[in-house]
Amino acid sequence: TEAMRLAGKVVVVTGAGSGLGQALALELLRRGARVAAVDLRSEGLQETMAKAGSLGEGLSLHPLDITDKEKVAALPEEVERVHGQVDGLINNAGIIRRADALDVTREDWNDVLDVNLKAAFFLAQAVARRLVEQRHGGKIVNVASMLSFQGGVRVASYTASKSGILGLTRLLANEWAARGINVNAIAPGYMATDNTAPLRADPKRASEILARI
């Protein structure tokens, strides 16, 4: 039943070359959707295609720097040329920089906010504009974090970006509901991805995190 509900839908997934984004892209394919996989790394996208196997017919690969405003603005049209339409977006791409708050640099702060928050907004905007033009509504899912609520430690820029995603999701849900665009966020806990590798490699931190789950 779930697969039938997604049959024929076209979903853009960012950060689809690894980790959570890759898993989401593959699951969407299994449920009958077609997926436009976006990632900065071409090799990651090729890995996603290899893992898709026979489902790869419904998968298109889009190597893209999501901080490039011109390329982001052009993405929905590019996806439409391949798949004929756009029905949704999963804003998953993200980076993290770890440092004590006393030592955070402006460069690291800007890099994280540019990818995790600024790019997420303008991707949502670009997709929403196409959804409005198509007049059939759609779905946008932003990936927030447990740190949107808990704060965390040594990840000031990441926490700020994910807290921003939480507020942004609420705003977009309010503004775009009348246009038939449903906006939600998910807030995953700690997952086995590249972003959590340093924590999982630290036996003390790993045991503390696992004890809280």
Angle between helices 119-134 and 69-83 (to 10 degrees): 40
- In the residue annotation, 158 being an active-site residue is answered as yes
Catalytic residue among 25, 72, 140, 158: 158
Please choose, from the candidates 55, 53, 56, 74, the residue with its C-alpha nearest in 3D space to the C-alpha of residue 65. 74
Catalogue the long-range contacts made by 70-78 (C-beta closer than 8 Å, 24 or more residues apart): 72/119, 72/122, 72/123, 72/126, 73/122, 73/126, 75/12, 75/36, 75/38, 75/123, 75/126, 75/127, 76/12, 76/126, 76/127, 76/129, 76/130, 77/130
- Residue 43 burial by Cβ neighbours in a 10 Å radius (0-12, 13-18, 19+): exposed
The answer to whether residues 64 and 101 touch, using CB atoms and an 8 Å cutoff, is no
Pairing label, strands 59-63, 34-39: parallel
Half-sphere exposure of 16 (CA within 13 A, CB side): 31
Tokens 């640099």 locate to 105
Count how many residues are written for the chain.
213
Positions marked active-site: 158
